[in-house]
Structure 1
Amino acid sequence: MTANNNPTVNREPGNPWAAGTTWAAAALLLVASVLAFFQGIAAVANDETLVAVTSDYIYAFNLTTWGWIHIVLGVIGVCIAVGMFLGATWARVCAIIIASLSIVANFLWLPYTPWWSILVIAIDILVIWAVANWSGDN
Structure 2
Amino acid sequence: MAGWIGFAGILMVLLGGLSVFEGLIALLEDNYYVVTPSGYLLFDITAWGWIMLIWGLILALVGLALLGGASWARWVAILLVSINVFSQLGFLGNTNDTVWLLITLTLNIIVLYALIVRWHESQRELQTR
**TM-score higher than 0.5:** yes
Distance 2:98 2:48 in 1: 15
Distance 1:51 1:90 in 2: 38
Match of 1:68 among 50, 61, 68: 50
Moved over 3 A (4+): 58-61
* Structure 1 residues 11-59: Cα deviation after superposition (integer angstroms, max 9, x where no partner): xxxxxxxx6332111111111111210111111122212224x324155
The structure with the greater share of residues assigned to helix is: 2
Larger of the two Rg values belongs to structure:
1
Q: How does the TM-score come out when normalised to structure 1? A: 0.76
Match of 2:98 among 114, 120, 124: 114
Amino acid at match of 1:115: V
In the TM superposition, residue 122 of structure 1 has moved relative to its aligned partner by 1.0
Which residue of structure 2 aligns with residue 57 of structure 1?
39
Contact 1:106 1:118 in 2 (8 A): no
Cα distance change on mapping 1:110 and 1:64 into 2, 3 Å: farther
Which residue of structure 2 aligns with residue 88 of structure 1?
70
Q: How does the TM-score come out when normalised to structure 2? A: 0.81
Which residue of structure 2 aligns with residue 10 of structure 1?
none
Which residue of structure 2 aligns with residue 6 of structure 1?
none
In the TM superposition, residue 109 of structure 1 has moved relative to its aligned partner by 2.8
Distance 1:91 1:26 in 2: 9
Query: Which sections of structure 1, spanning at least 5 residues, go unmatched?
Result: 1-18
Count of residues in Structure 1 that have an aligned counterpart in Structure 2: 119
In the TM superposition, residue 66 of structure 1 has moved relative to its aligned partner by 2.4
Distance 2:22 2:102 in 1: 14
